[in-house]
Amino acid sequence: MMPISGQHKLRLGVNIDHVATIRNARGGDHPDPVRAAKIVAECGGDGITAHLREDRRHIRDEDLRRIQEATDLPLNLEMAATEEMLAIALAHKPHAACIVPEKREERTTEGGLDAAGLHNQLAPIVSQLLDADIKVSLFIAPEERQIEASLRLGAPIVELHTGEYAHAHLDGDGERIAAEMRRLSDMAALAAKNGIEPHAGHGLTYENVQPIAAIPQLAELNIGHYLIGEAVFFGLEKAVLKMRDLMDEAR
């Protein structure tokens, strides 16, 4: 794994799930998430993230193949820790698989994966993905026990959940913002110190992204819902390019 420093470009992975959400609302083929993936590739995005949920509420199985065929960008497959999703990941061989917690009733992924409490469930899944040369990421809260659990599981990457930081920004709570920034900074540093590549994501916007992007150990941000929302008004290319500019300014 390459050393991580503030001198390295911070990668931007764009989650295209909610293009598929709009498509599925009418049951047809438009708008096509594959077209979104191509636009992200053309405007300098570094990767595509797609969450194949158990209920298939947005991304569908066939979308994975089509995305992989349409662009050379690395595909980061977000997935629950189930045998069904493991089989799909092994069949499609994405660049990376990010294991996330999943509840059918939730609107979006509400918290981090309990890597510490689910060690026995996660260990064989992580092992099989790694054996297939799929990079494994665990989507965790910025907590020391979760970093330690990820290390024990042999996960080469963690994605730090930035939801609490984003909520603090929405509330205008300066103390909470500062506290969450300390947690995220400390856990990114701890992960990197232990040879784990830290990423971050969830709830990031134009208004709150720069302090996160300035954390020197972070190698990648994954952003989806906000960019698709901005794309409704300004187009996906402009939305992605603006986020890219803000991230670069922070570095």
Across 149-160, average pLDDT:
98
pLDDT at residue 34 tops 50: yes
pLDDT at residue 108 tops 90: no
Percent of the chain with pLDDT over 70: 94
**CB-based contacts of 173: which residues, under 8 Å, 6+ apart?**
none
Q: How many CB atoms lie within 10 A of CB 198?
A: 25
Nearest Cα residue to 236 out of 222, 226, 245, 246:
226
Render pLDDT for 62-103 as a digit per residue (tens, 0 to 9): 999 999 999 999 999 999 999 999 999 999 999 999 999 986
Least confident of 51-65, 95-109, 163-177, 193-207: 95-109
Query: How much is the pLDDT for 6?
Result: 39
CB 113 within 8 A of CB 97: no
Render pLDDT for 130-139 as a digit per residue (tens, 0 to 9): 999 999 999 9
Query: How much is the pLDDT for 5?
Result: 39
Which of 78, 159, 164, 197 is catalytic? The answer is: 78
Which of 51, 161, 169, 199 is catalytic? The answer is: 51
Query: How much is the pLDDT for 1?
Result: 37
Query: How much is the pLDDT for 111?
Result: 74
**CB-based contacts of 64: which residues, under 8 Å, 6+ apart?**
50, 52, 75, 77, 88, 92, 94
Across 176-194, average pLDDT:
98
Query: How much is the pLDDT for 109?
Result: 53
Alpha carbons 5 and 245: distance in angstroms, whole number: 19
Q: How many CB atoms lie within 10 A of CB 224?
A: 22
Q: Using DSSP, state whether 20 is helix, strand or coil.
A: helix
Which of 102, 164, 202, 230 is catalytic? The answer is: 202
Alpha carbons 103 and 197: distance in angstroms, whole number: 26
CB 140 within 8 A of CB 147: yes
pLDDT at residue 4 tops 60: no
Query: How much is the pLDDT for 3?
Result: 36
Our answer to whether residue 78 is catalytic in this structure is yes
Residue type at 185 in one-letter notation: S
CB 222 within 8 A of CB 15: yes
